[in-house]
């Protein structure tokens, strides 16, 4: 019997994990977040696994082994709040951002926990081989893996950062690793920027440990009173899948349980709709593709900026394809084509696309790099400024924050990008770097998810830093001990010297 058991285990290790049951729980009811998370889960479904996805959205034509648990109404709740925000005019204060994310994440998680469909699903007797969640300050959501007694896998839409590092024991050194809340900083900081980053690092850590994490622990036990302490759950992460790639991001340390899968969402280009195909094929002087992503709407752009953009476009020979959410665009020149929705990846793959005018979102940046297209990054909020500055530093882009966009610099940047061949050359070089992998991202995802399942977790990848208290990890106790010993030695020496001086003084008087 022991021999047969050994043979069974050996066959599993050699042949991989076929047809595993996987659960994805994605509480962030934003279209861009769902698109990336569902792309990841569809990859696993295409690899033959049985996939269940709990989210605020559904797909019309999912794979046959892709089951959907729809948390209806959550997206509409988020939209109500987002409608009050004007992203083009908003300037987030970094000090306020941890407070904002704490409020938002708790609200989103409570809406999920309190949803009738979610409650019903959690009461089922299903079993899963692994649970995948998105890291978006989502510690309480990690309970789902404990609930189903399955290893926990975390997907992060970013590179290693403040939100993922603590739960893997990954170093995030403030001297060259910018805080997630300071998107204007890169990994090459001046002295004052390092001061600012260190203060933000300390503030956000204190806020998270004293306020945000306890709030999520309280929220978890409000809905699941018998759950263990959140600390025992949140730090038990088997694997982190990072949407990062050396072609786009700077190299930073990563523990073995953190895996780069950047570009996983990029698919082989599909045929374009006939009308778009004709526009692209017939563009003798090339095409400029313009999109601000799924969350930022071009139609909400301030009129004076939209007008000078159109004015510049009217002087160009290129065709401009613009993702514009209204059917009408007043003052639209003849060479501008607008659509409410556009197949971005398929357009960027076309040989006639000469430039991508983007908001600097990470997925858009990766698609432009993959297809070797130069970028004008007009950052609006979140990490877009950092992405734009990275792309500019890599020589494939010019970057300008939307608030600083003027008629003069828009025209100057556009002319430079269209006339200087170095941007296309650098974009194509970065494209080669992104494509040069031993495994493509889809196979990497499948390998590591199956790896976690094979061993029912990855305790052998867990670093010792996770067994230390924060003051031990930062060596504060060691520093205090050394200072205390040094102080004792100094005081003792001072005392001994005084005693020696006193003993010697009377003898000198007698002489």
Residue 16, pLDDT above cutoff 70: no
Q: Is 310 a residue whose pLDDT tops 90?
A: yes
pLDDT at 508: 52
Tokens linked to 41: 């889960």
| Token digits of residue 354 | 């000469």
The answer, yes or no, to whether residue 505 has pLDDT greater than 80, is: no
Q: How far apart are CA 454 and CA 456, in angstroms?
A: 6
* Confidence band, pLDDT 50/70/90 cuts, at residue 499: confident
pLDDT at 17 over 70: no
Mean pLDDT to the nearest integer, 100-124: 94
Q: Does the CA dihedral 195-139-255-367 come out positive or negative?
A: negative
Q: In angstroms, what CA-CA distances link 323 with 141, 225, 235, 313, 337?
A: 34, 47, 41, 15, 9
Task: Give the model's pLDDT for residue 7.
Answer: 45
Averaged pLDDT, 315-324 = 95
Check residue 5 and give its pLDDT: 44
Alpha helices (H) along 286-378: 303-313, 344-348, 362-370
Rounded average pLDDT over 106-119: 95
% of the chain exceeding 90 in pLDDT: 74
Please state the length of the chain: 511
Kindly give, in sequence order, each residue whose CB lies less than 8 Å from that of residue 377, ignoring residues fewer than 6 positions away: 358, 359, 360, 365, 384, 387, 388, 391, 392, 397, 398, 399, 400
Average pLDDT, the chain: 90
Residue 343: closest CA among 246, 396, 272:
272
Cβ within 8 Å of residue 241, ≥6 positions away: 40, 153, 154, 155, 156, 259, 261, 445, 448
366 by DSSP, 3-state: which? helix
The region of weakest confidence among 77-86, 267-276, 307-316 is 77-86
- CATH architecture designation of domain 274-435: 3-Layer(aba) Sandwich (3.40)
Comparing C-alpha atoms, which of 471, 294, 252, 484 is closest to residue 382? 294
Q: Cα separation of 153 and 180, whole Å?
A: 21
pLDDT of residue 93: 84
Q: Are strands 152-156 and 239-242 parallel, antiparallel or unpaired?
A: parallel
pTM (two decimals): 0.88
Q: What percent of the chain has pLDDT over 70?
A: 93
Fold of 10-170+229-262+439-467: Rossmann fold (3.40.50)
Label the pairing between strands 319-323 and 353-358.
unpaired
Q: What is the mean pLDDT of residues 101-122?
A: 94
Average pLDDT score over residue span 205-221: 95
Instruction: Say how many C-beta atoms besides its own lie within 10 A of residue 285's C-beta.
Output: 13
């Amino acid at each position: 019997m022991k021999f047969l058991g050994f043979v069974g285990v050996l066959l599993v290790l050699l042949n991989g994990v076929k047809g595993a049951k996987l659960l994805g729980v994605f509480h962030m009811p934003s279209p861009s977040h769902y698109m990336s998370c569902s792309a990841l889960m569809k990859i696993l479904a295409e690899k033959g696994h049985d996939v269940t996805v709990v989210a605020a959205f559904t797909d019309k034509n999912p794979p046959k082994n892709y089951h959907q648990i729809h948390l209806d109404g959550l997206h509409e709740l988020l939209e109500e709040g987002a409608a009050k925000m004007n992203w083009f005019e908003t300037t987030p204060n970094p000090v306020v951002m941890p407070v904002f994310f704490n409020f938002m994440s708790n609200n989103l998680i409570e809406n999920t926990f309190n949803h009738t469909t979610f409650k019903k699903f959690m009461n089922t007797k299903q079993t899963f081989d692994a649970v995948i969640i998105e890291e978006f300050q989502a510690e309480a959501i990690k309970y789902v893996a404990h609930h189903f007694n399955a290893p926990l896998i975390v997907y992060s839409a970013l590179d290693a950062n403040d939100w993922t590092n603590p739960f893997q024991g990954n170093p995030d050194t403030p001297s060259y690793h910018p805080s997630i809340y300071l998107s204007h900083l890169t990994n090459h900081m001046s002295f004052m920027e390092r001061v600012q980053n260190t203060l933000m690092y300390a503030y956000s850590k204190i806020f998270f440990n004293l306020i945000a994490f306890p709030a999520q622990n309280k929220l978890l036990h409000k809905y699941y009173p018998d759950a263990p302490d959140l600390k025992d759950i949140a730090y038990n992460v088997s694997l982190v899948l990072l949407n990062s790639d050396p072609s786009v991001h700077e190299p930073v340390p990563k523990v073995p349980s953190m895996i780069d899968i950047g570009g996983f969402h990029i698919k082989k280009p599909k045929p374009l709709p006939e009308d778009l195909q004709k526009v692209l094929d017939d563009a003798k002087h090339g095409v400029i593709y313009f999109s601000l992503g799924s969350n930022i709407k071009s139609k909400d752009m301030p009129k004076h900026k939209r007008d000078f953009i159109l004015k510049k476009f009217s002087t160009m020979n290129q065709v401009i394809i613009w993702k514009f959410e209204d059917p009408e665009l007043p003052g639209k020149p003849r060479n501008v084509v607008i659509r409410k929705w556009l197949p971005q990846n398929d357009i960027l793959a076309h040989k006639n696309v000469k430039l991508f005018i983007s908001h600097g979102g990470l997925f858009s940046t990766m698609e432009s790099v993959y297809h070797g297209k130069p970028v004008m990054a007009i950052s609006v909020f979140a990490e877009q400024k950092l992405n734009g500055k990275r792309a500019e530093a890599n020589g494939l882009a010019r970057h300008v924050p939307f608030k600083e966009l003027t008629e003069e610099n828009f025209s100057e940047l556009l002319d430079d990008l269209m006339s200087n061949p170095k941007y296309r050359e650098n974009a194509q070089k970065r494209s080669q770097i992104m494509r040069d992998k031993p495994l493509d991202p889809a196979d990497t995802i499948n390998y590591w998810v199956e790896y976690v399942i094979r061993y029912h977790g990855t305790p052998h990848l867990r670093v010792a830093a996770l067994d230390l208290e924060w003051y031990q990890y930062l060596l504060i106790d060691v520093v205090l001990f050394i200072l205390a010993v040094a102080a004792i030695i100094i005081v003792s020496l001072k005392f001994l010297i005084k005693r020696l001086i006193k003993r010697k003084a009377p003898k000198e008087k007698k002489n």
